[in-house]
């Protein structure tokens, strides 16, 4: 079966299971979305949402976080992994936005990726979910699933992003990114499916017998 055929199967199954895709990270505006994505590194969305529900009603602009200062931000996000590094990024990010962009989140990949603590994946999420620009944010989970489903042989997220953008129509990217995340959490879990038991794995590889060990991103 060709990659293109497998991509069509994936799209059909995901559209059936997830016709709607709410954004999993709770936020009030594009700035708080950016902060939440930054906080979500090596951390679950649930944990981020639990922490930010007590922060965003009061602090939801770059100016607020600049005024708070790094130490107070650390206290607010203490229960999140690597909170000191993240607090530093949130503080420096907020400072840059106030000084350089008048408190607004910039709308280009280049400008976003120049911000403290913001990499390509974070920028892609903000462009996609915040500004509605076609993007395909790839994290280690999507990388793993794309390998299991035979959509990429890429050894890293950069190659996987190129492959998925080539295989799927541009108009589907923003929704598909979220659909894959939801499906991975519910049906094709890292330590349960192993490429053998979920509907997509079975449909793309009906004759697969051995567990698939994916290459780490």
Q: Is residue 162 part of a domain?
A: yes
Q: For residue 76, what is the domain's CATH number?
A: 1.10.340.30
Residue 121 bears catalytic tag: yes
Helices 173-186, 3-17: inter-axial angle, 10-degree rounding: 80
Six-digit token string for 114: 């120049």
Question: Could you list the pLDDT tens digit for every one of the 217 residues in the chain?
Answer: 899 999 999 999 999 999 999 999 999 999 999 999 999 988 889 999 999 999 999 999 999 999 999 999 999 999 998 999 999 999 999 999 999 999 999 999 999 999 999 999 999 999 999 999 999 999 888 999 999 999 998 788 999 999 999 999 999 999 999 999 999 999 999 889 989 999 999 999 999 999 887 777 6
Q: Is residue 216 part of a domain?
A: no
Whole-prediction pTM: 0.90
Same domain, 103 and 11: no
Which of these is catalytic: 71, 72, 121, 171?
Answer: 121
- CA 18/CA 170 separation, integer angstroms: 18
Among residues 77, 95, 130, which one ends one of the domains?
A: 130
Same domain, 11 and 64: no
Domain that holds residue 93: 30-130
Which of these is catalytic: 139, 162, 163, 215?
Answer: 139
Residue 139 bears catalytic tag: yes
181-185's contacts with Cβ under 8 Å and 24+ in sequence apart are 181/24, 181/141, 181/142, 182/17, 182/18, 182/21, 183/14, 183/17, 183/18, 183/145, 184/141, 184/142, 184/144, 184/145
Whether the CB-CB separation of 70 and 94 falls below 8 Å is answered with no
């Amino acid at each position: 079966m060709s990659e293109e055929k497998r991509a069509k199967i994936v799209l059909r199954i995901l559209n059936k299971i997830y016709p709607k895709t709410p954004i999993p990270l709770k936020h009030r505006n594009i700035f708080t979305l950016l902060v939440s994505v930054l906080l979500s590194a090596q951390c679950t969305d649930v944990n981020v949402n639990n922490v930010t529900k007590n922060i965003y009603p009061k602090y939801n602009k770059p100016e607020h976080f600049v005024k708070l200062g790094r130490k107070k931000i650390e206290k607010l996000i203490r229960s999140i992994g690597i909170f000191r590094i993240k607090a530093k990024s949130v503080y420096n990010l907020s400072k840059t936005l106030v000084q350089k962009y008048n408190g607004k989140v910039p709308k280009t990949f280049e400008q976003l990726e120049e911000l403290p603590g913001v990499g390509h994946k974070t920028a892609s999420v903000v462009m996609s979910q915040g500004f509605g620009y076609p993007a395909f944010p790839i994290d280690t989970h999507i990388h793993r699933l794309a390998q299991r489903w035979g959509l990429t042989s890429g050894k890293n997220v950069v190659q996987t992003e190129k492959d998925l953008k080539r295989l799927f129509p541009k108009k589907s990217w923003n929704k598909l990114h979220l659909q894959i995340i939801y499906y991975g959490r519910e049906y094709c879990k890292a330590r349960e499916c192993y490429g053998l038991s979920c509907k997509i794995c079975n449909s793309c590889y009906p004759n697969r017998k051995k567990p698939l060990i994916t290459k780490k991103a």
